[in-house]
Amino acid sequence: MTLDIQKIRADFPVLDQQVNGSPLIYFDNAATTQKPKSVIDALSHYYASDNANIHRGIHALAERATTAFELTRTKIKEFINAPSSDQIILTAGTTGSINLVAQTFGRANFSKGDKILISNLEHHSNIVPWQMIAEEKGAVIEVIPVDERGVLDLEAYRNLLDTSVKLVAVNHVSNAIGTINPIAEMIQLAHVHGAKVMIDGAQSIAHLDIDVQALDIDFFAFSAHKLFGPTGVGVLYGKRELLESMPPYQGGGEMIKEVSFDGTTYNELPYKFEAGTPNIADVIAFSAAIDYVNALSKEALFTQELALLAYATEQLSTIPGLRIIGTAPEKIAVISFVMDGIHPQDLGVLLDKFGIAIRTGHHCVQPLMKRFELPGTCRASFAFYNTFEEIDLFVKALRRSINMLQ
Amino acid sequence: MAQSIQETQEELIEEFGLFDDWADKYEYLIDLGKKLPSLSDDLKTEENVIKGCQSRVWLHAEKQGDQIVFEADSEAVIVKGLISMLIRVLSNHTAEEIMKADLYFIDQFGMSQHLAQTRSNGLLSMVKQMKNYALAFSAK
């Protein structure tokens, strides 16, 4: 299946605009993806027609809202091939999902001297929640190193694994440099030593096929907004026996079975972990994003993105003094780069004047920037709606910006 | 007598008014950044770093007579150009003049929308820090 990119672009209203007098070129997809019109319409339709609080109401609106809400859960289950919908916990985002696991699984399972393995590629969201619970429990965090290309050192990983490792928490894909980590192999190795594995899928969910059962993942987290859905919705998948054994996280409505002043019994999965009124509208609209991706061929989307990556890498390599950071053989469509003698922020400011949105800075991975001895990078990240012409315009604007700054 | 803070702002607005094109404005700003003398390494201390900027910015102030003199530096040249303008406007004035100064020139550049949010937080942090120095010196 070949994609009709112009037809696809017409589905994303935000792309059709001028920024600072030039057509918008949106290359900040790793930060958040744009939304198809069907998602925007679903959001507005929900508030215009169905708005009601879910699960407890007996009236028609509550019924419709509940059905639509739970339908999203089913679609998520199918999207990542989870065995059952009640293993899909809806959260506020990837960060919320990771904190949930740290505060429940971590609180119940970590003790003094236990090890948590993370990697040098992690986003702060997959570092800080572990530091917080490790400090509380006296557990120790150890870090899997990366090489010059930004590839995890699997030999070092093997050496770090032993029976004191309770959890391995790594990202599937690096947000800053695009490396795809060999999670199948890493999970298998962790399981040999009895360690559980939490995969931060924030950057892989829109760019790789995810099958949580085939990969034997214990916990998988991602955000809807990086999969063309609304902000404020996240997913936590967990294996049933793990989720059932974990204590609840936040207390409140929805998560209880019975409350008395003598004590409370908790609801079943997934509601045990979903205290309070959830983000109903955005969860329902997320359904439209999943439908959108499913209606196109995932393989065709990924092929388009990799072609953009290859072309951009080739074009950027022709600029003297430009260095690409992150040259792993397996990457998604993310390019981080630095320019000799020019601060990334200056390039970001000037590219914005050309209507081009990239990200500059440390990308919430300060330890990785330290590893490469850089204050930050410029990062261009693509989605299937980006075009080769946009890359040409970007490279042209980049050359002009460099000339202005040198 | 040295010119007032308001006069310098008017002068800058006039200088930038000469450019129609954004690229020319930015080239001028970059040029200002390049011309601002670098801060010596012993003044690039953690203490002098202004928080809230995407690039590191250092600001140093000292009192000469009844006037405050600012020196500053940044890793990013556009930010350095902005600092250069702030120094031109605020340096060599008394603490009271600096504290009272209404810096309207930033809004009149046709750059304020561009420097909004994350980046101007850096710019606003710089102004705030300069005024803090003035306050600290006036208390002495």
pLDDT digits (tens, 9 = 90+) for A62-83: 999 999 999 999 999 999 999 9
**Residue B111: its pLDDT value, please?**
60
3-state secondary structure of A247: coil
What digits encode the pLDDT tens for the residues A128-163? 999 999 999 999 999 999 999 999 999 999 999 999
The total of other beta-carbon atoms located within 10 Å of residue B118's CB is 13
pLDDT band at B123 (very low <50, low <70, confident <90, very high): confident
What's the pLDDT score for residue A202? 98
Cβ pair B54:A376 closer than 8 A:
yes
| Residue B112 reports pLDDT greater than 60 | no
Position A258 scores a pLDDT of 86
Instruction: Confirm or reject contact between B113 and chain A (CB < 8 A).
Output: no
Evaluate the CA torsion angle A197, A202, A203, A205 in order and state its sign.
positive
pLDDT of residue A56: 81
Using a pLDDT cut of 90, give the percent of chain A over it. 92
The candidate with the shortest Cα–Cα distance to A226, out of A328, A336, A122, A95, is A95
Are the beta carbons of B15 and B99 closer than 8 angstroms?
A: no
The average pLDDT across A199-207 equals 98
**Paired sense of beta strands A322-325 and A88-91, if any:** unpaired
Q: B77, B112, B119: best mutation site toward chain A, by most A Cβ within 10 Å?
A: B77
Hey, of A366, A396, A405, which one would you mutate to test binding to chain B, going by the most B CBs within 10 A of its CB? Answer: A405
Q: What's the gap in Å between the CA of A373 and the closest CA on chain B?
A: 15
The answer to whether B54 contacts A361, with C-beta atoms less than 8 Å apart, is yes
DSSP string covering B60-82: EEEEETTEEEEEEEESSHHHHHH
Contact B27 A343 (CB under 8 A): no
What confidence score (pLDDT) does residue A143 get?
A: 98
Is the per-residue pLDDT at A385 higher than 50? yes
* Highest-pLDDT range among A51-55, A180-184, B39-43: A180-184
Residues of B with a catalytic annotation lie at: 53
CA distances from B24 to A350, B18, B29, B116, B121 (A): 12, 9, 9, 20, 24
Q: What is the pLDDT of residue B116?
A: 46
Indicate whether A114 pLDDT > 60: yes
Q: How far is CA A110 from CA A77, A101, A196, A250, A373, in A?
A: 29, 12, 12, 19, 33
Contact A273, A248 (CB under 8 A): yes
Q: What stretches of A183-325 show up as alpha helix (H) in DSSP?
A: 183-192, 240-245, 280-295, 298-316
> Cβ A343–B55 below 8 Å, yes or no?
yes
Enumerate the residues of chain A whose CB falls inside 8 A of the CB of residue B79: 345-346
Residue A8 in this model has a pLDDT that exceeds 50: yes
What is the ipTM metric for this complex?
Answer: 0.89
Q: What is the pLDDT of residues B6-65, one digit of tens each?
A: 999 999 989 888 888 889 989 999 999 999 999 999 999 988 888 766 788 899 999 999
Q: What is the pLDDT of residues A280-292, one digit of tens each?
A: 999 999 999 999 9
- pLDDT value, residue B53: 65
The residue type found at B24 is D
| Average predicted confidence (pLDDT) for chain A | 96
- A198 in helix, strand or coil? strand
Q: B114 and A405 in contact by Cβ < 8 A?
A: no
Of the listed A154, A256, A364, A393, which one is catalytic? A364
User: Hey, what domains does chain A have and what are their CATH numbers?
Assistant: 5-30+297-405 (3.90.1150.10), 40-294 (3.40.640.10)
Chain B residue at shortest CA distance from A359: B54
Q: Is the pLDDT of residue B117 over 50?
A: no
Q: How far is B63 from chain A (nearest CA, A)?
A: 32
- What's the mean pLDDT in A51-60? 90
At A222-267, the pLDDT tens digits run 999 999 999 999 999 999 999 999 999 998 888 888 888 888 888 8
Domains assigned to chain B = 5-139 (3.90.1010.10)
In our burial notation (b when 16+ CB lie closer than 10 A, e otherwise), range B55-77 reads bbbbbbbebeeebbebbbbbbbb
Q: What is the pLDDT of residues B52-103, one digit of tens each?
A: 667 888 999 999 999 999 999 999 999 899 899 999 999 999 999 999 999 8
